[in-house]
Structure 1
Amino acid sequence: MSHQFKIFRAILTAVIISGFFMHLLCEDEIKKAVAADRISDIKFHKIYPFFSNELLDIMSIYAGSVFDSVKVFRQKEILREYYNGKGYDSVNVKIKSERESKKLIKLDIKVLKSEYYALDKINVKGNKYFSDFRLKKELKTYWRSWLPWDEPGRFIPDEFETDKKKIEDFYRGRGFADIEIENSFKKDSADNTADITFDIEEGPLYYIKIKGNHFFSKMRLKKQIKLLYQGRRGEVAVRQIVRAIKERYTEQGFNDVKIEWKDSIKVFNHVPNKEVTIFIKEGKRIEIKGIHINGNKSFKAKKLKPYMNSVVSRWWRWTDYFNKAFWEDDIRNLKAYYEQRGFLSPEISGRLKYNSDNSIVTISIDINEGVRTYVKTAEFSGAGEIIRKEEKRIRSSLEGAYFSYGRLKEHTDYLKGSLAAKGYIYSNVKNTVIFSEDSATANVKFEIDSGRIVSTGKIYIAGNLKTKPYNIKKQLLVKENEKFSILDMAEGQRNLRDQQIFKSVNMKTPGIEDKKDTLDILIEVEEYPPYYIQSSGGYESFSGPFVSFLAGNKNLFGRNKELSFSAEASFVKQAVTCELSEPAFFHRNISASVAGYWAREFNFDPDFETRTLGLGTGFNYKWENKLQSSALVQIENRELYQKTVLGEDSNIFRNIGRLRIMQSWDRRNSFLRPKKGFFTSFETEFSTGLNNNRDDFIKYMYDFKYFYTPLEFITLAFFTQFNYMQVINPEFQPLVDQLFYLGGTGTVRGINEKMFLTDSEGNSVGGKVTALAVFESRFVFREKWEIPIFCDTGLLTKRLDGDKGKIRTTVGTGLRLITPIGAMGILYGFPTDVNEGILNGVFHFSLGYTF
């Protein structure tokens, strides 16, 4: 019944998420909310150096919210406090309202602020172990004072408090567990400057020594020792460490472990050092000689042993050890195991027999299973045809199966959920059980009071300044004058929240408390601004300097459609794309798009250029569990401009039709910085030349990436790829711009882009088959830095049979900086061809991980 239980749990979650029982409004309040004046727009003036989005995020009003004069007035104080915390003492906020229409009011907010206080001096006192400069490096206030933009040197009180915490964490992370810091600032109104001071009481530097630890090395107790650096004061942290070490030993069967500690103060270079010595008396582990389970007629001993937590066992050793702390729990666990499987009154007891020195124990467990109860009949009364299908499902699951109260509750909840999903949200289900005299059978009866069916009344929408009501209602599963379902209601709310045009979606239903037959629904939305502009630039080893631009409207005409324009330019590629997309095409899981594009790409070895003008349309379906399926149809005109061996120019014009079918599955824990999980994709491309035969082929492309983090500071990354081109007519071979190439940042590092295989003239050679295997270990240090060590192996061949192709391996390393927008790094690799020796290596600059 796990599937049915998930359904009911989903319904309960729907109730909680949607807040149906938390937003109990009367009908008059809904009508007031719909008829109320609303804020049409919020315009800011003189807010530099802040952006409007920053201020909107801290305010409690937004475009589309109800206009409440008291609430609007309160924004003055909110903005004043924000500006004060950012370094402006005297702030005057003026808010002017202007009615634009009968129900819409525009707000103009002007912020008049005084001059900011510039940071003059940063004083650090009391620091003996670290220099002033070393501590200042940890301060955001210090680095800001060097910036030439954003009002350089502005003293920001909010950052000042954060800096104090950063210095405390810095000290504690290095063993100063008793660190105390007092921070203060002094402002000079005449010069508009501020001096800040950090008074530091370092306290002693803690060293942890462990003695008597034979079973665990100090390295294996590192996790427990690290508690010293996590914010607790010295002695409190030490006691935490002792408790954690004791728990670690107890888990491994050391029942009599004793741990004591003492500290002593020593002074080195005028700095007090507190040496904490932890003394461990491990004692002996109690070895289990044997586990004897008697009376277990229904279940084998190997089925019961996993529920005995007192048995400390590991797959790599023969000997098991005994943990006395869990012995009483074992009896309870075994009893619960039997009760959940139909044995309602099992009698279970245990005996322990030690040898003379208490180092070996024999465990005996005596079980009197009693009678196992089976469900003879399952009867239903009160609901009739309403839940006939559910009745059949429950009967087939219960009758003839063993009885348990847990399963009975699960089925009862399932019935309640099924009725609520059908519109009977006021239903009630009770169960009764009648046992036979010998308790061998049980008759279960479900008494169902379905109540009245509830219908959906009017659906009111508020806060949608740009989005058409029809496009909001289209995402709902409940319809006006049809049955009301809490599950459908929650699904509709989830559909709306999944749209990228809404910042928040809230649904309210009055009348549930009064058990009304018709429930109206109020949907309040907060919209994102529809327009966006983005630009970026950088440098990559292959493309050199590059810039990109993206602009669009993600709520075109208020119909939840996105129109975007993008452009990119570098030494090797220029491209322009215009795309119209529909994020919910007839179904919330289906997205569709149509795009026109132009691209110009350069290749230097061999020297050729392609110019592409095309039109494409595609569909994407998002399955559950992060699985996606896509289909894309493209028609393009492609011009291949190639310089021949004789130095002459050759232009080839082709019209190409293409169908691409893709399947991907993404189970990575993070897109920007994956540490565990996998990503796999398979793509099939069907290509046909509309005016030639050289573009008639099928491409198969498979990728697999896997990430594993065995230790906190090490991530192992694997990447495999296989590409194959099947030519339809062997007499017409594909041109150079359709072949597969290897080499470069994204494939085989340590080799220049597309230069994996070259001809006698030094020009790159493509193939119809490529295979790639990449291994990379990523070592983290100082939190935001990584050192990768990689080994890449590739295979490129012109065909599958009769051509061995070429296999090359490269190795290398580099350095990456982890930023909020991804990794930035420089890598260096070189090939290790056996026949040619070690060749010159190649540097790679990259934004983001190479895979």
Structure 2
Amino acid sequence: MIVNDISLKKIAAIFEFLSVFIIGILISVSACCADAKSTKDNYLNISDIRVTIAKRIVEDEHDISLRQMVFNLIDLKKGEKFSPALLDESIRMLQQSGKFKEINVDSKEEDGKFILFFHLTPYRWIKDIRIYGRYPVFERDVLAAMTIYPGNAFVQEVLEKQEAEIVKLYKNEGYIEPKVSVVADEDPADGNYIIKVKIDKGPFYSLKTIAFTGNKNFSATRLKWKMKIWREALFPASFGRFIEAGFKKDVDELTKFYRSKGFADVEIQPVIKKDAKNHTVSISLLINEGPCYRTLFSGNKAFWDSTLKKDLILLRDGNRNGLGLKRSIRKIEESYQSSGYLSAKIKAEEEPHPGKDDIRTIRIIIEENQKTIVDSIDIKGNVSYPESRIRKQMLTETGGIYGSGIFVPAIFEEDISSIRAFYISEGFMSPEVKQELEWNRDRSRVKIRITINEGVRTMVSSVKIAGSKVLSSDDALKLITLKEKQPFQKYMIGKDENALSRLISDKGYPYVKVKGEIEVATDRKQAEITYRITDGIYVSMGEVYSKGNLRTKDRVIKKEMEIRTGEPFSLEKTLLSQRNIRNLDIFKEVGFKTLGLKEEKDKINLMVDIEEQKPYFAELGFGYESSKEFYARTGIGDHNLLGLNKYGWVSGEISQTGYKSEIGISEPRFLDTYTSASMKIYAEQVEEFNENFGYKALGASLGLSPKAIKNFTPGLNFSLERRDQYRLDSSLPLGASISEEEYQKRSILVVTPSLTYNTRDSFIRPKKGVYSSLHVDVSKGLENSFDDFIKYRYDLRYYYTPVNRLTLAFLGRAGYIKAYGNKGQVPQDQLFFLGGTFDVRGFEENLLRFDSAGDAIGGRCAVSGSMEARIDLGANVEMTLFYDTGSVSKAFVDAGSDEFRSSAGLGLRYITPIGPIGILYGHKLDREKGESSGQIHFSVGYTF
């Protein structure tokens, strides 16, 4: 008993201890929770927020704008209670801006005041990338290999990666061990960095020899000309540099060449031997030509042989294990099937050539049989619509005067789908369309039976709009397409949801949600539609910030915004703004980041991330053209003058016909409109070939061009010019104007409205499209009436490419001058002249019409036309066949003829990245006594 009492006392003592311990823990936890709640409810009000921009000795405007941006992005405000959640959100917004390398936040309590400190270290930016020793690789290719560009945040660690990428680029260009160093120099003026890329290319492997083995049917010389790597080795600028990637492409091209000539089984094994000591490469190409396939067709009446040969896959992809021939037969079968020959049978037989293993004649035997013709189409079950309405949904038709009646299974399957889709669009929710085909014995005729089970037609009995405070029911009902008493179309619900969402979103409610609910009656004849809308909160547009535009002013970017600060936020206007900025010619890339949209904030700030193009350019060129013979030109300019999206330039040209120099500036957004303006001042002297006069001019012009609308570009140009015309002979020639007054200095004001229509696919090498322009010069002489006239100029060009490698080009030009001055005369330097490189070839410059002294005669009317066939010969070479004609009439002297004169000729052009360089010969078709038979012309660019 004593033992039991002691045990009970011990147990009670332990129980008492545990009870006190547990109660103590519960009290402590309660106290902690109470303290936590008290702390949460009693955060201090923020008395001040202070922002410091690190690593700045002297505060500048950039720091001030950064500080303003920080205050705008953070959610914590002076005078409001501090919130850890809002602090986290603020830090996240600052990080998303991409402006800051480091973000540190601290706080301090002084005399009951709670102060927040934001210590920010902004990124330093890459302001320029300069490349040294890049030749012969283009600068753009080096920049494309790099992962950084001007406007990026500078990060030291990524420089090594740039070195590796550039080394890889040069190795691919044939250099053995190129060395690249990428270093960053800080500009003390603004703390940003200039990246300097220094390239030591080192030696490269040059092409020494190319040898062929096994080429029985084509000479080594012919095969070499098919290889780009060998052709380039002929030019001194390339030094015969061996590029392995280019060599692999050449091997592929040789393989395609062999296959196109019938050698479907050809195999080419390249062997490359590198001499590391002399840095040369010797190439051996082991060619197993295989047999030459001669493909013959028999039994084909519906298709020409040339048409069927396009389906011979073995001549394009080879004939490994006979698969190429099998695929070719299948392709021919498909061609016959799609033309209605459903019973066509195609097989291939090889004709023997005893003793000639190098030739395989494959005869493809075609048993076309008859086309399958639709005898009749019987449609049943169509209660709601007449048969004619159903037939309009079909491409398959019976034979007759207006229809071929050919039956193509694939097209017929599409017809069935079209009928079903038609019924669905008319409110039939579950239509059934069944088909039955009845063939005759040889499957040359077929009867079609289509049975339609329309089902129940569902009409919209009511449409309701619920929940929106932004959009009235009347406005919403006007917007949606699925309206009351219309056939119910379930797929239209989604379209109406999107339309309502877009409209409400553009009013400043981007978080709107629209859900279309459908209630279909038991008999499925009626459907009630309710669009339930949750507007969400109103959202306003905040500030627009940009990064990467180290040169371009912020106001240039903000000018292109379709939405302003404080306006309702609109995603559609934001996308339009992005398009506007991308369309500026001063940026390579433009990206938009909406700060706060994902977090569903009530104010959205926009960050525009930009990669600028290099604005400066300098050019120097010289050459020879028949119209001006030897010439040289130069120019410098800035596409982003002063960072204001203005184009400024200075240029000059001198040739054997004179000189011209000009300085100009262009503004794409004249007076903040979508009209571009271009102003220039120029001086020139012109002495055209075969003309007996010349002139000097000093002038200024202003051109205005509104934004193009559907390929139409209107324009308006004003020019004021001081012109001095002079004789090239001491005596007055026959072709000159009667009055001496035109040889006095004249001041001329010209106003030129114009309209251009352009659908060409390329400015440099058009292959299709139309170009048309009309210019009307309204000229007024300020000191006499000689320059009182109206000059009309019309230009029409058409390009058409009927088959690959052939482009047909047509040109028509007309000009007319109507004098309205007292004299009724027009100075010679304003008349039209024809003949030469750019209009009627085969004639010397301006000598389509001339006098007895051999001097050019101009007229108040000129008409010319040209036709060209441009044939692509490959290897960037183009052959041209042309015909030109023209007439100069209404001359002031009785010499020459008003009749049309014509020429025809041919030429060769070499196509470069900036346009063609050509030599052409034109032969006069109506040569007059004493004239040459024709003329050779050199030209840069197309004549039209």
d(CA) in 1 for partners of 2:401, 2:891: 47
**Inter-partner Cα distance in structure 2 for 1:804 and 1:195:** 65
The reply on whether 1:279 has 2:365 as its aligned counterpart is yes
Distance 2:426 2:710 in 1: 31
Query: In 2, distance between residues paired with 1:93 and 1:396?
Result: 63
- Listed as ranges, the matches of 1:329-368 within 5 Å are 329-346=414-431, 348-355=433-440, 357-367=442-452
What is the DSSP-based 3-state SS (H/G/I as helix, E as strand, rest coil) of the residue aligned with 1:28? helix
Q: In 2, are the aligned partners of 1:698 and 1:727 still within 8 Å (CA)? A: yes
Is 2:341 the partner of 1:254? yes
In 1, Cα distance between equivalents of 2:857 and 2:384: 69
Note if contact 2:548-2:611 (Cα within 8 Å) is conserved in structure 1: yes
Contact 1:599 1:611 in 2 (8 A): yes
Structure 1 pair 387–736 and aligned structure 2 pair: CA distance change class (3 A): farther
- Whether the aligned pair in 1 keeps the contact of 2:458 and 2:527 (CA below 8 Å) is yes
Q: Who is 1:13 aligned against?
A: none
Q: Deviations over 1:372-402 (max 9, x none)?
A: 6555554322224446785263268845654
**2:570 counterpart residue number:** 485
**TM-superposition CA deviations, 1:253-305 (whole Å, max 9, x none):** 11122222245685998x82333332222222122234454676776666644
Alignment partner of 1:244 out of 321, 331, 336: 331
For 1:116-515, what aligned pairs fall within 5 Å after superposition?
A: 116-149=204-237, 152-225=239-312, 228-229=315-316, 233=320, 235-263=322-350, 272-293=358-379, 304-305=390-391, 307-311=393-397, 319-346=404-431, 348-355=433-440, 357-367=442-452, 375=460, 377-386=462-471, 390-391=475-476, 393-394=478-479, 398-399=483-484, 401-434=486-519, 443-515=528-600
Structure 1 equivalent of residue 94 of structure 2: 28
Q: Pick closer, same or farther for the CA change 1:593–1:731 going to 2, 3 Å.
A: same
**Count of residue pairs brought into register by the alignment:** 824
Is the CA contact 1:685–1:698 (under 8 Å) kept in the aligned structure 2?
A: yes
CA contact (8 A) 2:725 2:745 kept: yes
Instruction: Identify which of 614, 633, 639 aligns with 1:548.
Output: 633
Partner of 2:825: 733
Q: Measured at CA, do residues 368 and 96 of structure 1 come closer, stay the same or move farther in structure 2, by a change above 3 Å?
A: closer
Separation of aligned partners in 2, 1:92 and 1:839: 60
Letter in 2 for 1:276: I
1:747 and 2:747 are equivalent in the alignment: no
Going from structure 1 to structure 2, the CA distance change for 1:353 and 1:709 (only over 3 Å counts) comes to: same
Number of the residue aligned with 2:751: 659
The TM-score normalised by the length of structure 1 is 0.88
Q: CA deviation at 1:197?
A: 3.0
| Distance (Å, rounded) in 2 between the aligned partners of 1:86 and 1:329 | 51
* Counterpart in the other structure of 1:809: 902
Aligned position for 1:4? none
Q: Structure 1 CA distance, aligned partners of 2:318 and 2:584?
A: 41
* Offset at residue 49 of structure 1 (A): 4.3
- State the secondary structure of the residue aligned to 2:311: helix
Letter in 2 for 1:360: R
Aligned to 2:812: 720
Distance 1:575 1:633, change over 3 A: same
- 1:524 is aligned with what amino acid? D
Q: Shift in Å at residue 690 of structure 1?
A: 1.0
Residue number in structure 2 paired with 1:17 = none
Of 742, 755, 759, the residue aligned with 2:851 is: 759
Per the alignment, residue 194 of structure 2 pairs with 106
Contact 1:208 1:276 in 2 (8 A): yes
Q: Tell me, what secondary structure is at the counterpart of 2:96? A: helix
Q: Is the 8 A contact 1:457 1:520 kept in 2?
A: yes
Shift in Å, 1:581: 0.8
Q: In structure 2, how many angstroms separate the alpha carbons of the residues matched to 1:339 and 1:491?
A: 36
Partner Cα separation in structure 2 for residue 316 and residue 466 of structure 1? 70
Q: Within 5 Å, which residues of 2 pair with 1:595-606? A: 595-606=680-691
CA contact (8 A) 1:723 1:771 kept: yes
Amino acid at match of 1:157: E
Matched-pair contact (CA < 8 Å) for 1:378–1:395 = no
Shift in Å, 1:207? 2.7
Structure 1 residue 498, shift from structure 2 partner = 1.4
Measured after TM superposition, the shift of residue 683 of structure 1 is 1.6
Q: 1:181 to 1:353 in 2, by over 3 A?
A: closer
* C-alpha separation in 2, matches of 1:581 and 1:623: 17
The match for 1:85 is: 172
Q: Secondary structure at the match of 2:688?
A: strand
Q: Deviations over 1:172-220 (max 9, x none)?
A: 3333333333334333343343333333333333332222212111122
What letter matches 1:323 in structure 2? V
The correspondence of residues 568-583 of structure 1 with structure 2, limited to 5 A, is 568-583=653-668
Structure 2 partner of 1:16: none
Q: Which letter maps to 2:95?
A: E
Deviation track 1:436-464 (CA, whole Å, cap 9, x = no partner) reads 77766655432222212222334332112
Residue identity matched to 1:39: I
How many Å separate the matches in 2 of 1:585 and 1:234? 68
- For the pair 1:827 / 2:899, whether they are aligned, the reply is no
Q: 1:752 to 1:508 in 2, by over 3 A?
A: same
Correspondences of 1:37-116 after superposition (within 5 Å): 37-50=124-137, 52-101=139-188, 103-116=191-204
User: Does structure 2 conserve the Cα–Cα contact (< 8 Å) formed by 1:312 and 1:323?
Assistant: no
1:255–1:571 Cα change, 3 Å: same
**SS of corresponding position for 1:453:** coil
Instruction: Give the secondary-structure state (helix, strand or coil) at the position aligned to 1:220.
Output: helix
Cα distance in 1 for partners of 2:150, 2:138 equals 16
Three-state SS of the structure 1 residue aligned to 2:505 is: helix
- Structure 1 position 60, deviation (Å): 1.0
Distance 1:234 1:833, change over 3 A: farther
Residues 755 and 773 in structure 2, CA contact (< 8 A), matched pair in contact too:
yes
Q: For residues 630 and 268 of structure 1, what CA distance do their matches in structure 2 show?
A: 75
Radius of gyration: which is bigger? 2
| Alpha-carbon separation, structure 2, partners of 1:792 and 1:49 | 41
| CA pair 658-267 structure 1, distance change in 2 beyond 3 A | farther
Change (3 A) 1:246 1:695: same
CA offset at residue 347 of structure 1? 5.0
- Tell whether 2:800 aligns with 1:708: yes
> Does the CA contact (< 8 Å) of 2:313 and 2:324 recur in 1?
no
In structure 2, relative to structure 1, the CA distance for the partners of 1:773 and 1:265 (3 Å cut) is same
Kept in 1: contact 2:397–2:403 (CA 8 A): no
| Cα pair distance change 1:615/1:230, threshold 3 Å | farther
Partner of 2:873: 781
Q: CA 1:775–1:131 in 2, change beyond 3 Å: closer, same or farther?
A: closer
Letter in 1 for 2:366: I
Comparing 686-695 with 180-189, which one deviates more in the overlay?
Answer: 180-189
The answer to whether structure 1 residue 622 and structure 2 residue 715 are counterparts is: no
* TM alignment of 1:582-593, pairs within 5 A: 582-586=667-671, 589-593=674-678
Percent identity (aligned) = 33
Gaps of 5+ in 2: 1-90, 101-121
The alpha carbon displacement at 1:424 in A equals 1.9
1:647 Cα deviation after fit: 4.7
Specify which structure has the higher proportion of strand. Answer: 1
| Alpha carbons 2:589, 2:611 under 8 Å: kept | yes
Question: 2: distance between equivalents of 1:84 and 1:543?
Answer: 44
Asked if the contact 2:663/2:682 (under 8 Å) is kept, the reply is: yes
**In the alignment, which of 782, 791, 810 is matched to residue 699 of structure 1?**
791
- Alpha-carbon distance in structure 1 between the residues aligned to 2:403 and 2:561: 60
- 1:19 corresponds in structure 2 to none
Q: What per-residue deviation string (whole Å, max 9, x for no partner) do you get for residues 819-849 of structure 1?
A: 3332333333334349989982233322222
TM-score, normalisation: structure 2: 0.80
Cα 1:820–1:305 change in 2 (3 A) is farther
CA distance in 2, matches of 1:90, 1:441: 78
